[in-house]
């Protein structure tokens, strides 16, 4: 079988959509960024992930741990901000607070059943729960700047 025939077979197989409920592939050319993300994201919740990463500004960070299935969703296409993996030894309390400040974390996705999420939930004045991941054990939080600390533009 030639490479051209294999490519054509791939297009025919993908034509119905990337996911069982996804749109036909030819409709993606005129789709919005959100529609393309939803079509290509098998884990769902594209709108929630896009909204969370939209809060990341220049010099700020979206942090995540091992519970996040698709860390590629955390990167902004415009290159603003950074993405950082939370070191395993940084679990809660002063160590996590210091790491969040040093990395200028604006959003964080952590295992909702672990000590990091419990610590974040225990400080609603600093952390706002945004959503729980549908297919993984992660929970996503927004991080507010501390009063008296240097503000994040």
What is the pTM for the complete model shown? Answer: 0.73
E strand intervals along 3-118: 61-64, 82-85, 105-111
pLDDT of residue 21: 59
Q: Please, which pLDDT band fits residue 150 given cuts at 50, 70 and 90?
A: very low
In degrees, rounded to 5, the angle at the alpha carbon of residue 136 between the alpha carbons of residues 131 and 139 is 30
DSSP 42: T
The H or E element that residue 95 is part of is helix 93-103
pLDDT tens per residue, range 69-118: 888 888 888 889 999 999 999 998 999 999 999 999 999 999 999 999 99
Asked if 84 and 63 count as a contact pair (C-beta separation under 8 A), the reply is yes
pLDDT of residue 129: 97
DSSP 9: H
pLDDT of residue 6: 82
Domain boundaries, the chain: 1-40, 43-153
CATH 1.10.600 for domain 43-153, yes or no, is: no
pLDDT tens per residue, range 11-69: 777 666 655 556 676 777 787 776 666 666 555 677 888 899 999 999 999 999 999 98
């Amino acid at each position: 079988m030639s490479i051209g025939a294999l490519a054509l077979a791939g297009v025919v197989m993908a034509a119905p959509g990337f996911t069982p409920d996804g749109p036909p592939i030819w409709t993606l050319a005129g789709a919005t960024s959100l529609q393309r993300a939803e079509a290509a994201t098998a884990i769902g919740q594209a709108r929630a992930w896009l909204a969370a990463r939209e809060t990341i500004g220049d010099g700020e960070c979206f942090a995540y741990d091992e519970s996040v299935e698709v860390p590629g969703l955390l990167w902004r296409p415009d290159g603003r901000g950074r993405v950082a993996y939370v070191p395993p030894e940084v679990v809660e309390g002063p160590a996590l607070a210091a790491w969040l400040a040093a990395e200028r974390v604006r959003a964080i996705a952590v295992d909702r059943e672990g000590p990091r999420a419990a610590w974040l939930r225990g400080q609603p004045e600093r952390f706002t729960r945004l959503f729980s991941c549908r297919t993984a054990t992660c929970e996503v939080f927004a991080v507010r700047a501390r009063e008296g600390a240097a503000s994040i533009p």
